Amino acid sequence: MSASGLPFDDFRELLRNLPGPDSAALSAARARDAELTKPPGALGRLEEIAFWLAAWTGRKPAVTRPLVAIFAGNHGVTKQAITPFPPSVTAQMVENFAAGGAAINQICIAHDLGLKVFDLALDYPTADITEAPALSERDCAATMAFGMEAVAGGTDLLCIGEMGIGNTTIAAAINLALYGGTAEEWVGPGTGSTGPLLERKIAAVEKAVALHRAHLADPLEVLRRLGGRELAAMAGAILAARMQKIPVIIDGYVATAAGAVLRAANPSALDHCLIGHVSAEPGHLKSIEKLGKTPLLALGMRLGEGTGAALAAGIVKAAAACHSGMATFAQAGVSNQA
C-alpha cells in the first residue's frame, strides 16, 4: 500500500506512469518487414500485429510462451434472478477447466497455449450492486494486486478471459457508467437471459448505476462499485503485463469491460492490447469501438472463458512466425522490383 495508505493510490500512480512503446524495436520490425518476400502490405493485418508485438515487447516479434489466464468470480447481483444458470456453475466450470473438459482446454491444445485458472473467493460473492458497492476499496485493490501476480510466472503473450455467472450484467453496468446511453443498449442475453430474466437484468443495471451515480466519475470507483473480483483481477493482469512488456489479447464482453475501466483512467492504457474477437453479446462491438479498437475475429461466439482471445492468439503466433521466419528478397534470390 502507498504512503498515504489508501488502497487505490498505488494503482492511480501506476496508471499515471505507464511505459510507452519501444520505438527502436518498432523501427527494426518495419525495416525487416519491407525486406520480406511478399508484395508490400500483402500480409495485411498480420504485419500490423508483428509491429505491435515489437513495439510492446521491445524485441523482434516472437511468441514462445503464450498463456491464457482465466479469472473466475461470483456476483451478489445474481440474487435478482437475472441468469438462466445458477451461480454454482462458476465453481463447476472451474473444475471442468482443471479436468480439461471445457472449450478453452481444446483451443489451448489446438494452438499450443498454456492455461492458468484463478478462482477468486467463489464462496464469497460480491455484494449485490443494486444495493451496495460490489467490493470495498481494500478488497478491490487486493484483487487487482492478485491479478498482477498472476502473470509473474512468465509469458510473452497473455490472453485474458473470465468465468462468472452474472458477469454480463456487471459488464453492462460498467459500460453504462463509463459511456452513458440506456441500460437496454448495454444489456444482452449473456448465457441466455430472455423474457422476464432479461427485463430484470435491465432493471438491475439501471438501479445499480442510479444508486452509485455520485461516484462514477472515477473509473476505479466504477470497478469496485459495479465490478467484481474477476474484473478487478483482469484489470490488474492487464496493468502488470504493460509493466512487464507483455502484449495482451482481451477476450469478450466482460474482459473488454475490465479493460475499459483502465482506458477510462488513462487513454493509452490498452495500447498493448488487442481485442481477440467480437462476441455475439449485442453491446460488445460498441464497447470495442469506444476503445478505438478493431476485433481480430468475428465468429458469433459468446462463451467467454478466454476462447475468443485464445483463437486470436493463433493468428498472433502466425504473424510473429511470418515476420521472423520468412526469407528476405536477398536471401531467397527473389526480385523485389514491382
Terminal C-alpha separation, the chain: 60
Cβ closer to ligand DMD: 304 or 314?
Answer: 304
Give the span between the Cα atoms of 30 and 47, in whole angstroms: 9
Q: Which range in 4-12, 45-53, 131-139, 301-309 contacts ligand DMD by CB under 6 A?
A: 301-309
Of 117 and 163, nearer to ligand DMD (C-beta) is: 163
Contact 113, 107 (CB under 8 A): yes
Of 191 and 336, nearer to ligand DMD (C-beta) is 191
Between 6 and 303, whose beta carbon lies closer to ligand DMD?
Answer: 303
* Residues in 259-288 at the binding interface with ligand NCN, rule: CB under 6 A: 279, 281, 284
Q: Three-state SS across 243-303?
A: HCCCCEEECCHHHHHHHHHHHHHCCCCCCCEEECECCCCCCHHHHHHHCCCCCCECCCCCC
In this chain, which of 47, 119, 162, 221 binds ligand NCN, going by CB under 6 A? 162
Using the rule CB under 6 A, which residue among 55, 77, 93, 291 binds ligand DMD?
A: 93
Q: Cα dist. 179→238, 257, 264, 290, 304 in Å? A: 21, 11, 10, 8, 22
Q: Is 89 in the site for ligand DMD (CB under 6 A)?
A: yes
Out of 147, 227, 304, 314, which residue is the one contacting ligand NCN (CB under 6 A)? Answer: 304
Contact between 83 and ligand NCN by CB under 6 A: the answer reads: yes
Which listed range, 28-36, 115-123, 253-261, 302-310, lies at the site for ligand DMD (CB under 6 A)? Answer: 302-310
List the single partner that 278 binds among ligand NCN, ligand DMD, none, CB under 5 to 8 Å by kind.
Answer: none
Query: On the CB side of 22, how many CA atoms lie within 13 Å of its CA?
Result: 22
119 SS3 class: strand
Site residues (CB under 6 A) for ligand DMD, limited to 142-181:
163
Site track 177-216 with ligand DMD (rule: CB under 6 A), x = hit: --------------x-------------------------
The distance of Cα 137 from the centroid of its chain, to the nearest Å, equals: 21
- One-letter amino acid of 325: G
Distance CA 234, CA 304 (A): 13
Signed CA dihedral, 73, 76, 78, 79: sign only = positive
Binding interface with ligand NCN (CB under 6 A): 83, 85, 162-169, 190-191, 193, 251-254, 279, 281, 284, 302-305
- Where on the chain is the footprint of ligand DMD (CB under 6 A)? 85, 89, 93, 163, 191, 303-305
